[in-house]
Structure 1
């Protein structure tokens, strides 16, 4: 508990998000796939239990609305005669508020306005299904949970590729700066070429610092070069 006691609600929610960032779409129906609410809740509730956070869903009083929807579609009999087929459903809507509360400090809470809507033949079923979908979409949006189409690993692979691309761009900027400094330094101190090469070879075997793709490695090389060759002048 030592760790959780030092975290505020925002920090706890960030921890929960970190362990529930992706859920596979494992359920199928109506020609599309979707993440099972139980899979989402399993990860999030585990995090809520670990970090002492409660979620209180509330329907805003006075905003509930129930309406009967009647639709008419033209259909045909086996003999080709057209007729109007009517169907009836109950539409339930309401404003909602999802309230995150820090169990250790109930005065630390976050309220998020939301909306629920559902339609079924029975009003109670409409509300029940609406709340289920509402909760799933709230949690997915709040924690930015990726609902991977089929393969969680594929999503993580794309995520990693994006991160590596960003890291590569940052490293290239640092190395470009380093390259300019090195060139100028060697132009002024050609006798130091071997010393510079020996330093670079500590970071990349063939001495080609342009091949460095890790920002941390590039930054450390630049820092060590400045300490050894620039600041000492």
Structure 2
């Protein structure tokens, strides 16, 4: 596989991540949770991800807190770190094959020395989430998968189902001496069976078998 095919396989491996950590106001997905979910597949496919800081910018903001007399009794300095980065994907089985993705990161710290670390953690998590289009809804994985399935268009009737359905309709119309259109109407479906969804086709086939069996027994 080339590097693009490998990245697609990684994306297939993680269709969803639950927000497993709880903050003061909201649930969130941690960086370690994201990396842990992807690393095994990356190792399996021999993919390396190399981060690189291209440029940095650190801004500070000092806020003064005053007492009721207007005297400053406390100062807090916030360090805001911005990083211009790039992430390079390397196919370890063919190291000359790479893909470079520009990225931006930021981190806020009150002490100052952790600003870069926070920005790098931020970058790692959000780069991987966005690179592989990983949803992180608050719902549990099963509920999320159900929502995904509900948005998909229904699968059309299979060739085998279509053939069996047609034979059963003809058989029942002969037994009851009615037109096939009347059988379709009794089933509550269109006269174009190729448009029937796969799941519904299964139920209709079973219904026709039941009707034929019942009609045949009465005739006998």
Over residues 171-222 of structure 1, what are the superposed CA-to-partner deviations in whole Å (9 max), with x where a residue is unaligned?
49xxxxx9xxx9xxxxxxxxxx938x79x9xxx9x6953772139x8xxxxx
Gaps in structure 1 of 5+ consecutive residues: 1-6, 173-177, 183-192, 218-233
Contact 2:20–2:28 (CA under 8 A) maintained in structure 1: yes
Give the Cα–Cα distance (whole angstroms) in 2 for the partners of residues 115 and 121 of structure 1.
Answer: 21
**2:25 corresponding residue in structure 1:** 31
Q: Does 1:70 align with 2:48?
A: no
**1:214 corresponding residue in structure 2:** 198
Contact 1:20–1:40 (CA under 8 A) maintained in structure 2: no
Of 194, 197, 210, 2:170 maps to 194
Distance 1:91 1:207, change over 3 A: closer
Contact 2:76–2:110 (CA under 8 A) maintained in structure 1: no
Shift of the alpha carbon at 1:36?
A: 2.1
Give the Cα–Cα distance (whole angstroms) in 1 for the partners of residues 154 and 64 of structure 2.
Answer: 57
Gaps in structure 2 of 5+ consecutive residues: 175-179, 202-220
Give the Cα–Cα distance (whole angstroms) in 2 for the partners of residues 162 and 76 of structure 1.
Answer: 57
RMSD value, Cα: 3.4
Contact 2:50–2:87 (CA under 8 A) maintained in structure 1: yes
Give the Cα–Cα distance (whole angstroms) in 2 for the partners of residues 214 and 59 of structure 1.
Answer: 52
Q: Does 1:107 align with 2:107?
A: no
Q: How many positions carry a matched residue from both structures?
A: 178
Task: Please give the TM-score of this superposition, normalised by the length of structure 1.
Answer: 0.65
Contact 2:60–2:77 (CA under 8 A) maintained in structure 1: yes
Over residues 39-84 of structure 1, what are the superposed CA-to-partner deviations in whole Å (9 max), with x where a residue is unaligned?
2111211111111100001001xx21222222356x775xxx6676
Give the Cα–Cα distance (whole angstroms) in 2 for the partners of residues 210 and 102 of structure 1.
Answer: 45
**1:175 corresponding residue in structure 2:** none
| 1:124 partner SS | coil
Shift of the alpha carbon at 1:37?
A: 1.8
**1:225 corresponding residue in structure 2:** none
**1:46 corresponding residue in structure 2:** 40
**1:227 corresponding residue in structure 2:** none
**1:1-233 maps to which residues of 2 (within 5 A)?**
7-60=1-54, 63-72=55-64, 86-163=75-152, 166-167=153-154, 171=156, 194=170, 208=189, 209=193, 212-214=196-198
Give the Cα–Cα distance (whole angstroms) in 2 for the partners of residues 19 and 41 of structure 1.
Answer: 13
Shift of the alpha carbon at 1:161?
A: 0.9
